[in-house]
Chain A
Amino acid sequence: MIREAGQLLLQVRAISKRYGAVQALSRMDFDLAAGEVHVLFGENGAGKSTLINVICGAVPPDEGEVSLRGKQIKLRDVHDARSRGISAMFQEFSLAPHLSVEENIYLGDEPKAGLWLKRGVRRHGAKEALERFGFDLNPSTMVGMLSRAQQQMVEMAKALRTGPDVLILDEPTASLSEKETETLFSLIRDLRIQGVGIIYITHRIKEIKEIGDRVTVMRDGKSVKTVDAGSTDHKEFVELMIGRTFDNFYPQFTCEPTEERLAVENLSTVSGHVRSATIKVHAGEIVGLAGLVGCGKSEIGRAVFGLEPILSGSVKHEGTEIKRPTPRRMLDRGVVYITSDRHNEGLMLLRSTKENISLSALSLSEYSRASWINRGAEQQMAQSVAKRMKVTPLDLSKPVSAYSGGNQQKILITKALARDTRVFIFDEPTVGIDVSARVEVYNFMKDLITAGESVLMISSDLPEIINMSHRVYVVKDGEVVDHMEKSEIAEPRLLNAFFSGTKEVA
């Protein structure tokens, strides 16, 4: 196929996609020219993944159209898309760990004679593909034995083998070292010269500068703006990403911190995600724990609650050192961790609202004696805390799956209210919920600290960190790299710490 740089390759018009109560894409427009790297930039949940899923045929859109070289197409599945020249490389690898490198490269498209596999052809083709892209891998190695970076090479070879015109890369550098990233970038540059159109998703502004041609910033399932990568600066990108329209929904309040509630000192976890972190949380304050996705901030909260094995360092609650924290022990001390993953780790989706709310409190003597449940007391408590948290429409017997995302999040928080909780560790408290539920969550936090409770708010949402925190710790690569008092909290300083891990303002 002849590819000419600048020629319009792919066009997406007014694509919408809805998942249950969530509008993942709403009338999204996007286009891609041959020989360009077009970056998709936006927060988690902005709709980037859904968009590329539509483009690569994995998800059918509810409405809107996709055209390839001016011709409207309807993609049946990923295979169909691939045969038309659209190939995707996902962040979560689509590799079979127990198959070899070559088997994976040809998976779903094996060279065959009748029912018989042509193993020689496959071996040869895989070898050739690996060599062409400069990947030093043995085609017969089992993929599960490879490092993450090597697996990524396999994924890449798989995506490139068919010589696609459109290549989708979803955060390809997330697990690569500096050197591997360089190799990847030079490969991308080669492909660009060959006229391949590349859709590139990243959270790293540095990469946009280095490899991107155009950038489309997404927010709330829409395209906010498409800009030139070279002539747009750091600050503009972030402003486009987070938007300024919602500033006013943060409640106004002042923190008056008193005694120390929680102290984490030189904490390191066995997993290596947290390294020698020190943070303190006082009564009556909201402490923000900020950083990029995957920087280890969440693991600090999890380690305090006993969900991440601790290697060294200490966790102190109200001055008492807790040698081996477990959820049971921490709950009994009035410390709760409210997970960011409400579906997998927070709620029993098919059980009733009442059972979900009372689950962690049920063993208290108010609600059970010798394990016999006091159902009246349980019902009354569930009713009153769910009301306080404004779960609507409240029906305690309804399964949690019947509520919207925002109400599910409120039910998750309500669980903490069922006990006498003094320290709330929120992990991404507003992830995937709508604006009105957000406002309620923020107001709830405000009420908590007014009542003298403590809040540790782990968040990747920058405006949330800026507007809600009394103090902020910034985490990068598992280390606390910066700490700001209320008066010092500012976006440039935060971003600088996020990306470069230093305190100086760039």
Chain B
Amino acid sequence: MNRRDSDKRSADATSWLRQAFIHLGILPLLLVAAILLFAIQEERFYSSLNIFNVVRQTTFLLIVALGQMIVILTKGLDMSMGAVVGFSGVVGALAMKAVLGVAPDALLLGGIVAVLAGISAGALAGAFNGIGVSYLNVPPFMMTLGTWTSLVGVSLLLTKGMPLTGVPDEFMRALGYGRIFGLAPPVLVTIILVVLVYALLNRTTIGRYFYAIGSNLRAAKLSGINASGQMFFAYVLSGTFAGVAGVLFIARTGSAEALNGSAYTLQAIAACVIGGVSLFGGIGKVRDVLLGAFFITILTNGMNLIRVESYIQSIVLGLVLILSLVADQFRMKLLK
């Protein structure tokens, strides 16, 4: 009797877990597991300073991941985002130097020029990808891989292989370690971008069409959607987002380097995929990318705190990524 009751209860729990898995995917489970694990192992993990750190670290990854998400929704992939982060930082810093070289006191102008130049450089790199993918029909992976390599070369040429330093402290304070409404500027920018992307994807026709072309390109074309234009725009957006991250990066580190941000490409793809954005296009929510980016940062941060070697860290990250893909396949099967 008792035995049967407990069997029944465990069956209920299993089916509840199963339902939760089907609806939410594996990410919430992983996230909770990671937080619990690190909190038990290391009390510094939940100190307010560390939480602040996690949030700040997540911002950069999240900005890049949002751009990546838009591209993946269209059944594409942007392998060049990390290189664009470095490139737009370099362009921004060079532009600022040029302004300050002419008028050393025009700090505000220099800052504005740096921001605009950096973001435009990102958008331009995105447009380059967009032309290749949507008008010349180069497969997204190869197109953006080519851009990645070339762009690193361009950045190295521009900086002669050396880091660009001498970013004025005012710029770093304004966009890096200062406070706006009590928030670190990168955090504020990220919040704004999350809201914008959420609105774009859920409330506008442009966003709806991103889902449509990723879900069924031919159906989208038959519904009169300008698929090439949409796809082009997706890459412009991912480039622009990488540009924003690049500019914020110089404000945080005070220097611009060709290889700044190169780790973000794969991490951003991982954040999207772990979050449940389908690489087959047409499926994915902003909320899930948000969780995905947090998860990856927490994982890295936690492993740092409990002093896991960096080599081991990259093994763990790789395995978690694969695990989440396997779980996703499994989930899709359950959904059908």
Give A residues with C-beta under 8 Å from B. 305, 307, 326-328, 331-332, 337, 339, 344-351, 355, 359-360, 362-363, 368, 371-373, 375, 401, 415
Contact = CB atoms under 8 A, between A and B. Distances in A.
A350 B224 CA distance: 20
Given A360-B224, A368-B204, A401-B336, 6 more contacts: A327-B222, A346-B219, A359-B208, A362-B205, A371-B206, A372-B205
Interface of B: 203-206, 208, 211-212, 215-216, 218-226, 282-283, 336
Nearest to A362: B205
Q: List the 8 shortest-distance A-B pairs measured between CB atoms, nearest first.
A: A360-B223, A348-B215, A328-B224, A345-B218, A331-B224, A359-B223, A327-B224, A371-B205
A327 B205 contact: no
Contact of B208 (A327, A328, A347, A355): A355
Contacts of A360: 222-225
B216 A347 contact: yes
Contacts of A372: 203-205
A164 B68 CA distance: 53
5 contacts: A344-B216, A348-B212, A350-B215, A350-B282, A359-B225
A351 B217 CA distance: 13
A223 to B, nearest CB: 32
Contacts of A307: 222
A360 B220 CA distance: 8
B211 A351 contact: yes
A347 B219 contact: yes
A373 B208 contact: yes
A350 B208 contact: no
A362 B206 CA distance: 10
Contacts of A359: 208, 212, 219-220, 223, 225
Contacts of A328: 224-226
Contacts of B215: 348-351
Residue of B211, B216, B218 contacting most chain A CB atoms (<10 Å): B216
Contacts of B220: 348, 359
B302 to A, nearest CB: 34
Contacts of A375: 203
B216 A337 contact: no
A122 B35 CA distance: 61
A306 to B, nearest CB: 9
Given A351-B282, A372-B203, A362 B208 contact: yes
A362 B205 CA distance: 7
A346 B224 contact: no
A339 B205 contact: no
Contact of A368 (B205, B212, B218): B205
A482 to B, nearest CB: 30
A337 B224 CA distance: 11
Given A360-B224, A375-B203, A415-B223, A351 B218 contact: no
A368 to B, nearest CB: 5
Contacts of B203: 372-373, 375
Contacts of B205: 362-363, 368, 371-373
A326 B226 CA distance: 10
A441 to B, nearest CB: 19
B224 A345 contact: no
Contacts of A347: 216, 219
Contacts of A331: 223-224
